[in-house]
Chains A and B, each alone.
Chain A
Amino acid sequence: MTAQEAAAGAMGVPRGRGDTLLRAVEEQERARERRARWGIVAGRVAVGVGFLLAWELASGRLVDQFFVSRPSAILGALWTMLVEENLLYHLRFTITEALAGYIIGASAGLLLGFALARVDLVFRIVEPFVVAFYGIPRIALAPLFILWFGLGITSKIAVATVMVFFIVLINTIAGIRAAPLPLLQVARVMGASEWDLQRKVIFPAATPFIIAALQITVPQAMIGAIVGEFISSNRGVGHLISREAGLLDTPGLFAGIFSLLAVVLLMNQGITFLGNYLMRWSPRRGITRDVV
């Protein structure tokens, strides 16, 4: 590099070859991202199709079809359920229960977490109680909730809520307590109020923990709703599944499970979007490709 080139570079003036290289890398990067996106889609389709195909072929040959059914039969059962048994009606109940429980449990966990974790003394007093409640097999509370809240939708929402609440609470508290002290101090000296601290320092510092909890609890909420429906209900997918099981109708049973799977995947995708947005500052996301 000549002195002239060095000076031009230092002042940020694009140099001929470097500039070309810049454009080329940008283009490469865009192409790579496009390829990666399609590659991921194709990969997923391949894995899904491969799995279903293997299942279809194994069923009736390697394993008794009575126990594992087969994808084609399940698809048929799904269709029957959809048109004859009002699957969408039942799904609507289950989704409402799971979603309501999820939202209530997660919001309560977040709010209480923020209330408890900021004052060390308060946290140290309540910690064993939180852990003790968390330690209860929460599913075992389902019959109790049905006793309290009746056979309707409320008792299922309550079960879903406790499934979500403690996990979000404990993670939120852990996240808040992991907020780096120097950042808090620096913010305070710069004039941050307690509200500023909570919103602009503690919350972002705790997001990795909170997002993890929100992801883990999506299926938990679903489990809560379904278990509630198993125990006593005349509607909802849980009710549908337990009826199919009672009739020894394996394809119907799997059809119910698959419809739940779809819902959980969809909810999870929503949380993933939220997480990617809230964590866009994290060096771990996307940049790792430069690290090899």
Chain B
Amino acid sequence: MSPSQPIIEAREVFKVFTAQGNRHDRRAFLALHDVNLAVDAGRFVALVGPSGCGKSTFLNMIAGLVRPTEGIVRYKGAPVEGVNTDAGYITQDDNLFPWRTLQENVEVALEFRGVPATGRRAEAGKYIAMVGLGGFEHHFPHELSGGMRKRAALIRTLIYEPDVVLMDEPFGPLDAQTRVILQDELLKLWEGSGKSILFVTHDLVEAIALADEIVMFSRAPGTIKRRYTVPISRPRDVFRIHAHPAFGDFYDQVWRDLKEEIIEVALEVRER
């Protein structure tokens, strides 16, 4: 891979879904419409857009879990065909394995990759300490709080050092304080790592606090409406991001564009 080549590239991507529900009403549905996007290595990119516009579908395509109906998704220059085990994927639900303890959950990817037990344990211990979960190694997921489970989901992906981390509203279900704390932890883990992150969120403040760049999807069928470069330098203070002089104007600008799409969705719903 040459340095100038984007690490992720989508070209004229379309996705058509058919619902499994009713056999007599197999109407197809256009989820993505002509999506073109290139992400450079090492960038933190936030994806925003109205609900149902295909953001999760797009991440699924990069992870190789969903195939484009038309068009091509490239990862490190090669078309994604089959599951992309080179990337990490953090979903909205933590999806920890309920039958594994915290420690075993954090280790699992290394286990799949054939790392011997002692190496796994040491590595997991390091990451567990990094996010302050020491002492909970032998708890099962149902014995952890929501924030703890999210931290576990985060480090069980970072532990195998994927070059690209896909994050789908990872902090969605958390309370406001835990959210900001986790955002801060994420930035600390990411800064200087050289990893690329694709981060889906509905929270513009979160997008601005974390990302280098914001990509806005239009309402369904989703297509990329606009891209913005976040005018705030790093390192960032996520706790006081509102106070940054560039924050207000930039937020208003992005929100105006997003509101347009959301209002259109609302109008379409009313017309039906």
For A190, the chain B residues whose CB sits under 8 A away are 85, 88, 108-109, 112, 156-157, 160
Q: In the docked arrangement, what's the CA distance between A188 and B86, Å?
A: 11
Cβ of A178 within 8 Å of any chain B Cβ, yes or no, is: no
A189 near B88: Cβ-Cβ < 8 Å: yes
Pick from A189, A196, A207: contact of B63, CB under 8 Å: A189
Number of A-B contacts defined by CB within 8 Å: 64
B97 near A204: Cβ-Cβ < 8 Å: yes
Cβ of B57 within 8 Å of any chain A Cβ, yes or no, is: no
For B258, the chain A residues whose CB sits under 8 A away are none
The answer to whether A188 and B83 touch (CB under 8 A), given A200-B108, A201-B97, A204-B99, is yes
Cβ of A128 within 8 Å of any chain B Cβ, yes or no, is: no
Cβ of A183 within 8 Å of any chain B Cβ, yes or no, is: yes
For B83, the chain A residues whose CB sits under 8 A away are 188-189
* Most chain A CB within a 10 A radius of its CB, from B63, B112, B113, B157: B112
Q: In the docked arrangement, what's the CA distance between A182 and B109, Å?
A: 15
For A2, the chain B residues whose CB sits under 8 A away are none
Cβ of A72 within 8 Å of any chain B Cβ, yes or no, is: no
Cβ of A246 within 8 Å of any chain B Cβ, yes or no, is: no
B108 near A188: Cβ-Cβ < 8 Å: no
Q: How far is the CB of A146 from chain B (nearest CB, A)?
A: 43
> Chain A, interface size: which category?
20 to 34
B108 near A187: Cβ-Cβ < 8 Å: yes
Q: In the docked arrangement, what's the CA distance between A75 and B12, Å?
A: 83
For A187, the chain B residues whose CB sits under 8 A away are 97, 108, 112
A185 near B99: Cβ-Cβ < 8 Å: no
* Most chain B CB within a 10 A radius of its CB, from A200, A201, A205, A207: A200
The answer to whether A191 and B98 touch (CB under 8 A), given A185-B65, A186-B91, is no
B100 near A281: Cβ-Cβ < 8 Å: yes
B95 near A186: Cβ-Cβ < 8 Å: yes
Q: In the docked arrangement, what's the CA distance between A201 and B105, Å?
A: 12
For A287, the chain B residues whose CB sits under 8 A away are 142
Per DSSP, are chain B's interface residues mostly helix, strand or loop, or mixed?
Answer: loop
For B109, the chain A residues whose CB sits under 8 A away are 190-191
B142 near A283: Cβ-Cβ < 8 Å: yes
Q: In the docked arrangement, what's the CA distance between A170 and B238, Å?
A: 53
> Which residues from 40 to 80 on chain A have a C-beta closer than 8 Å to any C-beta of chain B?
none
Cβ of A12 within 8 Å of any chain B Cβ, yes or no, is: yes
Q: How far is the CB of B160 from chain A (nearest CB, A)?
A: 7
Pick from B100, B112, B142: contact of A191, CB under 8 Å: B112
Cβ of B40 within 8 Å of any chain A Cβ, yes or no, is: no
> Which residues from 214 to 264 on chain A have a C-beta closer than 8 Å to any C-beta of chain B?
none
Pick from B91, B100, B112, B135: contact of A12, CB under 8 Å: B135
Pick from B65, B101, B113: contact of A189, CB under 8 Å: B65
Q: How far is the CB of A17 from chain B (nearest CB, A)?
A: 20
Q: Name 17 interchain pairs, CB-CB below 8 A, sorted by A.
A: A12-B135, A182-B93, A183-B95, A183-B97, A185-B89, A186-B89, A188-B83, A188-B85, A190-B109, A191-B109, A191-B160, A193-B112, A196-B111, A200-B108, A204-B97, A204-B99, A283-B98
> What 11 additional pairs, Cβ within 8 angstroms, besides A189-B84, A190-B85, A191-B113?
A185-B63, A186-B89, A189-B89, A190-B88, A190-B109, A204-B99, A281-B99, A281-B101, A281-B140, A283-B140, A283-B142
